[in-house]
Structure 1
Amino acid sequence: MSIRERVTLLVGGVGGAKLALGLADVLPAGALTVIVNTADDFRHLGLHVSPDLDTVMYTLADMANPKRGWGIAGDSLKAMSLVERYGGPSWFSLGDTDLGTNIYRTALLDEGHTLTAITERFSKALGIEHTILPMTDDRVRTLIDTVDMGTLGFQDYFVRERWQPVVTGIRFEGAAEARPTEAVLQAMAESEVIILGPSNPLLSIDPILSVPGIRDASVASKAPVVGVSPIVNGQAIKGPAAKLMAELKLDVSPVGVLRHYDSLLDGFILDERDSALLDAVHNMGVQAAARQTVMQTRPDKVRLANEILDWIEGSDL
């Protein structure tokens, strides 16, 4: 059974974008839909910034900074240097070229265009052959409750404070009132497989699933739902996933990630270093496979994408 005509991937930023690139490279043009977390969008210096959307967009357009995984390769920070000289907030950097995206996105939003329509417009202009969708056109905001600093907005926690505060809870303001777009629901309904990428389950995937209708659409879809663990050998490949899971008393392991998704998944990909956990996953009623999931090079991304698709096609999910 081929599943390579309609694949839907749910992701956040850098980690998920790596798998998105691998899938984009191996799938036919137009076969991949990437549904992206927008709960870390915020206004900065008057601009509407969509960090995860832009990371995925720049990655699929071959524009992303290869070392950081976010921002634009070769971008400069002259504008931010002047902002800092004026005494303005410089803790969140927007590159000079990246500013073009954020300036025009903000202008289009102010004119009444939806984030979905804007993202489609930008993606086409950058030559991207697949579909990138925000999880919703409504405002959802990740709020982080901490021990010593009260409640922080996501970017304050993640960038300004470098995710050091101890976390006691995570909330998604506005999620209950938000709605998925028709494009999101259609993509999930028509998918041959739905993949939850190796993004932070608490900060990247949970916001998407918190939008009423998206989790239900995953369950209702005839497509198998397959997750890729972001935890490898007890650690996160990048970012605060392991730290957050420990602070929130979750098992910092692929099994902990699987439990967190609470029976949503039909299949699960672990890193080969966690292959000893395969029996535990199978005992939870989920089919699983162990692969080399760490993606450092483009060939790594292509290899993992192919291995995931090959495994799904060869299984009875």
Structure 2
Amino acid sequence: MKKCELYLLRFDPILKEKVWGGKKLKQLFNKNSPSDETGESWEISDVEGSGSIVSNGKFKGRSLKWLMEEYNTRLVGEKVFDRFGTKFPLLIKFIDAAENLSVQLHPNDEIAQKRHNSFGKTEMWYIMQADKDAELILGFKEVLTEQKYIKLVETNKLLSALNSERVQVGDSFIIKPGLVHAIGAGVVLAEIQQTSDITYRIYDWDRTSDSGEKRELHTDLALEAIDLSKNRDFRINFDLKPNQSSEIITTRYFKTNIIQLESTVKRDYSSRDSFVILMGVEGEAIVKHGDNREVLKQGESILIPAEIHEITIEGINSKILEVSL
């Protein structure tokens, strides 16, 4: 029996409380959270224990995992399925940092596979809102030896060696494995990353829990994975052209474009052997495929299956991230 046709898929946001989370995911994006410490909205996830559930259409209530197993190449494309099997390869988030996140880094594929049987974690950030003077921590001010790094950690002076970057709406960054980083207080961003939840925390602002305990640090695990160079290739420069899909970055893990909508844009995906994810980062748009019509607001996401080759997007003064493999 022929399987049902796929359509523009939406998923229930998976909201994550964090010690550094705030109210902006509710205030800006109308996320349905009872908490004032909501740090992350996982929009599309195949992470074990936090898998996405379809929220619209005939597959409402079905899991992303079920879709992967039932529709595989029709959902993600032949090349993607050959590479990743039934594991959806990307994790899509919106993040609100009311306070500074921990200073952290992520392992590459080799280390993550060896230690955690997981993908590594390459990620990309797009700044959606930033308070005045808001910053990110990205890398070190100067090259460090392993011995100097360890001494900074042991003497609680790591902050003095960290590089900070002021940010504003529209800034984009690539966070490669090993790069020390932290999202600063007052930043809301869209995050595209490999399907991985492996993080090595190396500094946490001396925060303590209600019981007075500090969160665990991963100093020893981080040593093999950390980049101690004076890395400055994290800021992404790109051109923004009205009513066109403009490339932000292409990596071996994902390709991210941005569409600045001033009217109607038609997108032809017939040459892509991949799913496409649309993330609303500014304004509001209408996404259409045949009789299928979905409104995409800021802070929302839509998964376009690989078997859908053409869509139309209508909007004015809107920006959408367009993500694929």
Question: TM (normalized to structure 1)?
Answer: 0.27
Bigger CA radius of gyration: 2
More strand by proportion, 1 or 2? 2
Q: Greater helix share, 1 or 2?
A: 1
Give TM-score scaled by structure 2 length.
Answer: 0.27
